[in-house]
Structure 1
Amino acid sequence: MYKVFIDNSVIAFLDSSEEIPSGPYDLICHSLENDLTKLLDQFDFSSSKLCILVVYEDFDLAINQVFHNYEFMDAAGGIVKSKWRYLFIERHGMWDIPKGKLDAHEQPWEAAVREIEEECGIYGPTIDHLIGITFHTYSYMGRLTIKKNWWYALNYSGPLDVTPQEEESITRAIWIEKPEWDLIRSNTYDSILEVLDLAKDW
């Protein structure tokens, strides 16, 4: 299942071969039976917290139909672990995970390492595994944008000194232990909560 976060709402995309998990859902629609290009017009996502399920035969086709007015962007980042500590950042007053847009011809895992190094001032984290993929929407320079985020788990054995990248509006970078993840959960985005849930065993 893939999830697209729109403000406080989520549109989940489920392969038709999978069993539909328990709801509640505000709407369940099938890509072969519904006009997905009109799905977003049916709801006010800014004022309601909705959960919509799209059952698809072809994921790329389904998501492109739903978000046909959006510009697609790829980004990557991840949760860095150094022994029993984990690295998080604060940006725009919210806790976040370091991430950023892929450069031309860059692979997601390469971008994840580069963005973490740039945003936190550490060097040499190494990829352990892919945590998962999420999507979220926002407005970028007046354009509706949907960002695909590749999230990785990374190991790090270097110094714990960090330097937040101020030009990216990062005000803090901290190392915390797993029991302190509740601090992050108390003031972050729904898409980040999803990543924390996926990484609970990391």
Structure 2
Amino acid sequence: MYKVFVKELPLILTNELSDIANSKYFLLNNGSVREAIEALAKKKLGQAYIYHPNHEEILKKFCKTIPKEIAAGGVVTNSEGKVLFIYRNDKWDLPKGKLDKGETIEECAVREVMEETGVQKLKIENFLKTTYHIFKRNGKYKLKEVHWFAMKTSYNGELVGQEDEGIQKVKWKGPKKIKKALENSYTNIKSLFGE
């Protein structure tokens, strides 16, 4: 099962018939996939399911309809145990970005955190999870697959938000401020903190 968010509403790709028993589900074809995304984007449905019997094939086939963009990012903790957040598009988010040709997912995650926040001396501790969401660019839907890593840093220099990426603020946040930030964040970001 894959949970793909469309405007914060779940589009669930599943091979389990029990998942879709009493729900609106769509077949895995071009027209149906777009219909499901539009229904969620316009908030006509609270959630939607796409069914395909083969779990191994479901994401691959979905990506034939909605092209995939691979990205990576980090949940960065400093020596005080605070977590690095960015603020853009009126939401608190975590630094992440698109994979460049020829780089590994890990290299992408470190580069994007550095570019978006100015933080140096990053060390990947472990892989956290992969999240999925649909976005629209130039009138076309795309699936963003984001690979998240837990990172540590001893950096205590200036935080600089990447202006051309629309980042207005970069902040270190402790437990209370993290909880507050997550109230104005994305479902995928909340999931990284177990919410």
Query: TM-score category by the smaller chain?
Result: 0.7 to 0.9
Match of 2:180 among 179, 183, 196: 183
> Hey, what's the Cα distance between the residues in 2 that align with 1:25 and 1:65?
24
Instruction: Report the Cα distance in structure 1 between the residues aligned to 2:75 and 2:157, rounded to whole angstroms.
Output: 14
Kept after mapping to 2: 8 A contact 1:121/1:163:
yes
Q: Which residue of 2 aligns with 1:5?
A: 5
- Which residue pairs with 1:74 in the alignment? 70
Counterparts in 2 of 1:113 and 1:25: CA distance versus 1, 3 Å: farther
1:134 pairs, out of 131, 144, 149, with 131
Deviations along 1:146-192, whole A, 9 cap, x unmatched?
11100111011121521111111000000011232222211112222
Say yes or no: does 1:110 pair with 2:107. Answer: yes
User: Kindly tell me: are residues 160 and 15 of structure 1, through their superposed partners in 2, closer, same or farther at Cα, counting changes over 3 Å?
Assistant: farther
Q: Give the equivalent residue in structure 2 for 1:86.
A: 83
The CA distance in 1 between the partners of 2:188 and 2:93, in whole Å, is 10
Change (3 A) 1:98 1:172: same
Higher normalized helix content (fraction of residues): 2
Unaligned runs of 5+ in 2: none
| Structure 1: runs of 5+ lacking an equivalent | 30-34
Over the matched positions of the two proteins, sequence identity in percent amounts to 26
2:70 alignment partner, SS class: strand
2:28 and 2:52 in contact (8 A); partners too: no
Deviation of 1:66 (Å)? 3.4
| Partner Cα distance (1:24, 1:128) in 2 | 40
Letter in 1 for 2:4: V
**Alpha-carbon contact 1:136-1:148 (below 8 Å) kept:** yes
1:13–1:56 contact (8 Å) kept in structure 2? no
Contact 2:25–2:48 (Cα < 8 Å) also in 1: no
Measured on the aligned residues, the alpha-carbon RMSD in Å equals 2.6
> How high is the TM-score relative to the length of structure 2?
0.84
Sort the Cα spacing of 1:7 and 1:125 in 2 relative to 1 into closer, same or farther, 3 A: same
Change over 3 Å in CA distance of 1:155–1:69 after alignment to 2 = same
Partner of 1:62: 58
2:187 maps to a residue whose letter is: D
SS at match of 1:68: helix
Residue 32 of structure 1 aligns with which residue? Answer: none
Count of residues paired in the alignment: 189
CA 1:15–1:110 in structure 2 vs 1: closer, same or farther (change >3 Å)? farther
Find 1:44's aligned residue among 23, 36, 39.
39
Q: Compare 99-108 and 157-166 and name the one that shifted more.
A: 157-166
Please name the residue that 1:147 is paired with.
144
TM-score, with normalisation over the residues of structure 1?
0.81
Is this contact kept in 1: 2:4–2:134, CA < 8 A? yes
